[in-house]
């Protein structure tokens, strides 16, 4: 059992506060992705869990034991670093076995575990090589094998795929997910890549300016973003926003259209995902500006009442810049945000 | 000018300079070492090696190097590790530690002579504290080990910084991530030093050690200042062949012997600290 509890963790570097009061509980064997733009504090949070950084305040518990005062080696964790940190002066075998040697495991046990994890990562044939003789993808596999060989309770990954090319990243994503699911470890995975987060995570914790904005399943984060930031960050292209003025009785005026919405007297923002728009007889009047054929779809960037607005439409459609489209939002997919608090309004 | 020849043209001035002021004199010295009046001979070598002071000066030089270099290596590694960990004042500390580098070796010898001589600081301090009744001769023939210790101390003080600067630069090049990985995977600070710092520092260690060992075989001015004739070393012998005995052939032969010793030790260091084939450091 290795449940991770992060309780009231904050971190300041001088006058700069990198993390504000972070609270997060990660279930045993759960795969949690910390997602955010660079500088949002996700790596700092991971390093605090690893013990490479000390929290200014707050507690970290792993497997029911408070660990924030313990050195990394006593926390039952293993880590995969962004630049792999595969030791250049050791062979792949000795790299994978490094932690086991530090634990002073007998030679045959080291050999058994190294060969087993090398097999899992398909690098058995590379055991005698040095890191300088490996490709980026192979080095990445060594870094993961080194972490798995420790048979840790918790595996921490800091943007492990960010240095790979796109095709390899997609391949490794699936493979890593499979290997981690089999290893029964709890995993925290830091990335700025929303596709990685969506495809791998059991739960995504979206971070922004040192705070967790939303922690929920990928589909929940996608469908029901808790804040404007999440709506704008997740999804490619991101959600569209338009100002909405209350007409009373839960009716809202959005770019000349009247739509049903929440019962509140305050001004709100209307939001809709580009793929939740359909061409219809009644709807938002959008002037097409840029048309980008993406093969499967057509991405149309338009102007709605002076605001930037994107729609993902059927690729068979013929649209030219300057055409006026009538776009109807799918009513159950419309979301509303309070412009003052930036939070979602139900 | 075609780009193909450009590199050679660019290194031509340096090559010419080295040829005229290094290779040519070196050839002359070699010629001098292998000739007397007539043709090729090994007489000069036989003479200098057969002289009674040769084994002593060889032993002294080797002993001094054997004591001084390891102490300097250990100190330089310790100091480099400390400097590397400093958050503030790092540059100031590094400057202070490298001050002795800016002092000539003779001046360094004289500084330490001012401490150890009969009317020196050490004696004044000891009499002042009442440890001795009157100043004692520290650097005399009665205390050969004290002479040796004073020379070793002065050499360590003077020349540790040359290793330090090389090692500081080398340690600074080791990515922090390796240390973090080692820490996460259970390596104690000592293990991190032995398993990460030392192996990854091999190229810098090679440079620092070769430089320092070769310079240790050339120790001269500090020894003259502190030990005079009490502690003969190879370089002192070369000096005395050239200027006291007016025996240029002998001086040249001895110089070649020192060169040979330096080359042998350089090869040993290169071999001992070689990077395994395939590993990139």
Same-domain status, A203 and A244: no
Q: Tell me, what's the pLDDT at B133?
A: 84
Q: What pLDDT, on a 0 to 100 scale, did the predictor assign at position A236?
A: 86
Q: Is A262 found in the same domain as A220?
A: no
All residues of chain B having their beta carbon less than 8 Å from the beta carbon of residue A50 are 184
**Are residues A218 and A252 located together in one domain of the fold?**
no
A150 at interface of B, judged by CB pairs closer than 8 A: yes
Q: Across chain A, what does the average pLDDT equal?
A: 92
Q: What is the pLDDT of residue A200?
A: 92
Q: What is the pLDDT of residue B134?
A: 83
Q: Are residues A284 and A229 in the same domain?
A: no
A283: region left, alpha or beta (phi > 0 left; psi from -120 to 50 alpha): left
What pLDDT is recorded for position B144?
Answer: 85
- The answer to whether the CB atoms of A77 and B184 lie below 8 A apart is yes
**Residue A230 pLDDT exceeds 70:** yes
Reading phi first (left if > 0) and then psi (alpha if -120 to 50, else beta), residue A151 is in left
Q: Report the CATH number that the domain containing residue B71 is assigned in CATH.
A: 1.10.3720.10
Q: Region A291-309: what's the mean pLDDT?
A: 91
Whole-number Cα distances in Å, A215 to A58, A180, B220:
19, 21, 72
Q: How far is B78 from chain A (nearest CA, A)?
A: 22
* Contacting residues of A for B177, CB less than 8 Å apart: 81-83, 85
Longest dimension (CA), chain A: 76
Query: Is the same domain home to A151 and A274?
Result: no
Cross-chain Cβ contact A83/B191 below 8 Å: no
Which structure tokens are listed for A111? 């050999």
pLDDT band at B277 (very low <50, low <70, confident <90, very high): confident
Q: Which residue of A has its CA nearest to B187?
A: A102
Q: Same structural domain for residues A221 and A269?
A: no
User: Count of CB contacts below 8 A, A vs B?
Assistant: 71
The 10s digit of each residue's pLDDT in B112-125 is: 999 988 888 888 88
Query: Residue B206 corresponds to which tokens in the numbers above?
Result: 């090679």
| Average pLDDT of the residues in A262-275 | 90
pLDDT one-digit tens code per residue, B165-175: 999 999 999 99
User: Do residue A83 and residue A198 come from a single domain?
Assistant: yes
Specify whether A294 is located in the same domain as A164. no
* Pair (A172, A297) in one structural domain: no
Cross-strand bridge partners of residue A80? A157
For the residues of A162-194, what is the DSSP string, one character each? Answer: TTS-HHHHHHHHHHHHHHHHHHT-EEEEEES-H
- Residue A50 in contact with partner chain B when CB distance is under 8 A: yes
Q: So what's the pLDDT on residue B1?
A: 61
Domain count within chain B:
1
What is the torsional sign of CA A126, A129, A133, A139? positive
The rounded distance, in Å, linking the Cα atoms of A24 and A9 is 9
Distance from CA of B118 to the nearest CA of A (A): 53
Name the strand (E) or helix (H) holding A147: helix A136-149
Tell me the torsion sign for CA atoms A310, A315, A317, A319.
positive
Contact status, residue A299 vs residue A312, Cβ threshold 8 Å: yes
Q: What is the ipTM of this complex?
A: 0.86
Sign of the CA dihedral running B30, B36, B38, B40: negative
pLDDT at A1: 64
Interface test with B, best of A46, A87, A92, A153 (most B CBs within 10 A): A87
Instruction: Tell me if B43 is assigned to some domain.
Output: no
- Among A233, A251, A268, the domain boundary falls at A233
C-alpha distances out from residue A299 to A302, A312, A319, Å: 10, 5, 11
Handedness of CA A177, A180, A186, A190 (dihedral sign): negative
What is the reported pLDDT for A288? 93
Total domains, chain A? 2
Of B107 and A256, the structure prediction assigns the larger pLDDT to B107
Contacts of A192 (CB under 8 A, 6+ apart): A35, A36, A37, A38, A42, A159, A162
pLDDT, tens digit (0-9, with 9 covering 90-100), for B17-29 = 999 999 999 999 9
Q: In the listed set A214, A233, A252, which residue is the last one of a domain according to the structure?
A: A233
Residue-number span of the structural domain to which A290 is assigned: 240-345
A168 touches chain B (CB under 8 A): no
CB contact under 8 Å between A130 and B276, yes or no, is yes
- Domain identity same for A165 and A303: no
∠ at Cα A249 (A247, A253), nearest 5°? 25
- Asked whether residue B125 is domain-assigned, the answer is no
Final residue before a domain boundary, out of A233, A259, A281: A233
User: Are A85 and B175 an interchain contact pair (Cβ–Cβ within 8 Å)?
Assistant: yes
Task: Look at residue B2 and tell me whether its pLDDT is greater than 80.
Answer: no
Residues of B in Cβ contact (< 8 Å) with A88: 200, 279-281
Reported as a pLDDT band with limits 50, 70 and 90, residue B194 is: very high
Q: Tell me: pLDDT of A151 over 80.
A: yes
Helices (H), chain B: 6-18, 24-33, 43-50, 53-85, 90-98, 105-116, 121-128, 144-172, 176-184, 189-192, 198-200, 202-217, 221-227, 234-239, 248-272
Token reading at B189 = 């600070």
Expressed as residue numbers, the domain containing B89 is 52-104+144-272
Q: Are A311 and A274 in contact (CB under 8 A)?
A: yes
Task: Tell me how far CA of residue B181 lies from CA of A50, A56, A79, A179, B194, in angstroms.
Answer: 11, 23, 7, 21, 14
Q: What pLDDT sits at residue B16? A: 95
The verdict on A214 and A256 lying in the same domain is no
Instruction: Point out the residue among B182, B184, B202 whose CB comes nearest to the CB of A50.
Output: B184
Is A81 in contact with B191 (Cβ distance < 8 A)? no
In a domain, B127, yes or no: no
What is the Cα B32 distance to its own chain's centre?
27
Kindly report the length of chain A.
346
| A339 phi and psi angles, rounded to 5 deg | -65, -25
CATH of the domain at A326: 2.40.50.140
B contacts of A90 (beta carbons < 8 Å):
279
The residue-averaged pLDDT of A338-342 equals 90
Using a CB–CB cutoff of 8 Å, tell me whether A52 touches chain B: yes
d(CA B82, CA A193): 39
pLDDT at A222: 94
Task: Tell me the C-alpha distance between B70 and B88, whole Å.
Answer: 29
CATH at A127: 3.40.50.300
């Amino acid at each position: 059992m290795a449940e991770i509890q992060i309780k009231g963790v904050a971190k300041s570097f001088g006058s700069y506060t990198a993390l504000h009061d972070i609270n997060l509980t990660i279930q045993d064997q759960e795969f949690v992705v910390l997602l955010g733009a660079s500088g949002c504090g996700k790596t700092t949070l991971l390093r605090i869990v690893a013990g490479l950084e000390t929290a200014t305040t707050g507690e970290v518990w792993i497997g029911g034991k408070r660990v924030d005062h313990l050195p990394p080696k006593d926390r039952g964790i293993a880590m995969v670093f962004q630049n792999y940190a595969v030791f250049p002066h050791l062979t792949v075998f000795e790299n994978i076995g490094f932690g086991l040697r530090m634990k002073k495991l007998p030679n045959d046990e080291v050999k058994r575990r190294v060969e087993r994890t090398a097999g899992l990562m398909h690098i058995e044939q590379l055991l005698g090589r040095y890191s300088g003789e490996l490709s980026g993808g192979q080095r990445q596999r060594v870094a993961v094998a080194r972490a798995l060989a420790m048979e840790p309770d918790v595996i921490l990954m800091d943007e492990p795929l960010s240095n790979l090319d796109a095709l390899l990243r997609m391949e490794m994503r699936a493979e890593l997910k499979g290997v981690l699911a089999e290893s029964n470890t709890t995993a925290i995975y830091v990335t700025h890549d929303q596709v990685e987060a969506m495809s791998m995570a059991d739960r995504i914790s979206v971070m922004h300016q040192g705070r967790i904005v939303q922690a929920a399943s990928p589909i929940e984060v996608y469908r029901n973003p808790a804040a404007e930031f999440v709506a704008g960050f997740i999804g490619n292209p991101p959600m569209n926003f338009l100002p909405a003025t209350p007409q009373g009785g839960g009716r809202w005026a959005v770019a000349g259209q009247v739509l049903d919405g929440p019962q509140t007297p305050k001004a709100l923002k209307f939001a809709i995902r580009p793929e939740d728009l359909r061409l219809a007889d009644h709807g938002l009047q959008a002037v097409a500006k840029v048309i980008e054929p993406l093969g499967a779809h057509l991405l149309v960037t338009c102007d709605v009442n002076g605001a930037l607005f994107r729609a993902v439409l059927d690729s068979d459609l013929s649209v030219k810049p300057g055409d006026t489209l009538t776009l109807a939002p799918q009513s159950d997919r419309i979301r509303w945000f309070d412009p003052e608090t930036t939070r979602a309004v139900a | 000018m075609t780009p193909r020849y450009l590199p050679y043209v660019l290194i031509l001035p340096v090559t010419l300079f080295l040829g005229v002021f290094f290779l040519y004199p070196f050839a002359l010295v070699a010629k001098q070492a292998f000739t007397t009046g007539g043709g090729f001979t090994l007489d000069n070598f036989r003479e200098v090696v057969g002289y009674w002071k040769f084994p002593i000066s060889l032993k002294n030089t080797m002993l001094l190097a054997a004591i001084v270099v390891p102490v300097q290596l250990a100190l330089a590694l310790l100091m480099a590790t400390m400097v590397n960990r400093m958050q503030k004042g790092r540059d100031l500390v590094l400057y202070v530690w490298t001050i002795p580098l800016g002092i000539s070796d003779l001046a360094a010898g004289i500084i330490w002579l001012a401490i150890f001589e009969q009317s020196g600081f050490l004696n004044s301090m000891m009499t002042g504290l009442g440890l001795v009744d009157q100043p004692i001769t520290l650097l005399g023939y009665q205390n050969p080990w004290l002479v040796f210790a004073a020379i070793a101390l002065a050499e360590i003080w003077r020349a540790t910084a040359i290793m330090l600067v090389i090692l500081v630069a080398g340690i600074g090049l080791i990515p922090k991530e390796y240390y973090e990985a080692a820490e996460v995977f259970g390596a104690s600070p000592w293990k991190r030093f032995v398993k990460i710092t030392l192996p990854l520092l091999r190229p810098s260690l090679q440079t620092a050690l070769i430089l320092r060992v070769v310079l240790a075989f050339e120790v001269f001015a500090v020894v003259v200042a502190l030990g005079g004739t009490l502690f003969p070393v190879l370089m002192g012998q070369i000096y005395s062949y050239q200027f006291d005995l007016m025996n240029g052939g002998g001086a040249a032969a001895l110089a070649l012997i020192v060169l040979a010793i330096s080359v042998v030790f350089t090869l040993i260091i290169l071999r001992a600290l070689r990077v395994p084939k395939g590993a990139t450091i």
